[in-house]
Amino acid sequence: MNYIDNLINELSRFQGIGAKTAQRLAYHLIRMPKEDAKSIAQAIIEVKDNIKFCSLCFNITAIDPCIICTAPDRDRQSLCVVEQPLDVLAFEKTAVFKGMYHVLHGAISPINGVGPQDIKLNELIKRVEVGSFDEIILATNVNLDGEATAMYVHQMLSNFGVKITRPARGLPFGGDLEYADQTTLSKAFEGRQNL
């Protein structure tokens, strides 16, 4: 077996890591002290053994339900719908939102063959059916897929008689929410508008 080629192939599985970067990472690992490289490998194993999705909100967590879903001081009447766990992290950093989350794990994207059944949308509808939400904030990304997803979710939830909002304009179009700076994200959130 060609150990180096194998490592490069494995590293290039990461989204956004091309062949060149995978090569660089592989040679970096080769030069690294054995113990350091082993602790990277160990961290990957530990994450895979211990981190799962929360059965309520689908955020990543070590305990199920997650600490946000079980926190006694959070507002159970507001639900913020996001695409990725990293978006939850971005909102939590701003401290602008004290409600519950729902992580869709993606966005509807016909071009990429991602349909409503491929994201945690049915799970969201079930939560809204049994929950007592006053407001649902559709904080999907400000790009074509994110907008289309927000529109679709809005339609699916329109019969529940719950207020549905979307963070205000001001977030840069095409940029993923997780990359927005905290001030921009807070302002967009505070200025959210009815859909």
Compute the least distance from the CB of residue 68 to Zn ion, in Å. 5
Q: Least distance in Å: CB of 6 to Zn ion?
A: 37
In the complex, minimum distance from the CB of residue 54 to Zn ion, in angstroms, rounded to a whole number: 3
Secondary element (H or E) of residue 24: helix 19-31
The sign of the torsion formed by the CA atoms of 105, 109, 115, 116 equals positive
Quick one: tokens of 27?
């040679």
How would you class 50 by CB atoms within 10 Å of its CB: exposed for 0-12, middle for 13-18, buried for 19 or more? exposed
- Going by the DSSP 8-state scheme, the letter that residue 170 receives in this structure is T
The stretches of 33-167 forming alpha helices (DSSP H) are 34-50, 67-70, 85-94, 121-130, 144-157
Between 19 and 67, CB nearer to Zn ion: 67
28-57 positions binding Zn ion, by CB under 5 A: 54, 56-57
Q: Please, what is the minimum distance in Å from the beta carbon of residue 119 to Zn ion? A: 16
Nearest distance, CB of residue 137 and Zn ion, angstroms: 16
Contact status: 124 vs Zn ion (CB under 5 A):
no
Q: Nearer Cβ to Zn ion, position 69 or 104? A: 69
Which residue, 8 or 99, has its beta carbon nearer to Zn ion? 99
Question: Distance between alpha carbon 143 and the CA centroid of its chain, in Å?
Answer: 15
Nearer to Zn ion, 66 or 119 (CB): 66
Spatial strand order in the sheet of 78-82: 100-103, 78-82, 135-138, 163-166, 193-194
Min separation Cβ 158 and Zn ion, Å: 25
Judged by CB under 5 A, the number of residues near Zn ion is 6
- Residue nearer to Zn ion on the CB measure, 69 or 82: 69
Binding mask 64-83 for Zn ion (x = CB under 5 A): -xx--x--------------
Closer of 85 and 146 to Zn ion (Cβ): 85
Q: How many CB atoms lie within 10 A of CB 145?
A: 18
Positions that interact with Zn ion (CB under 5 A)? 54, 56-57, 65-66, 69
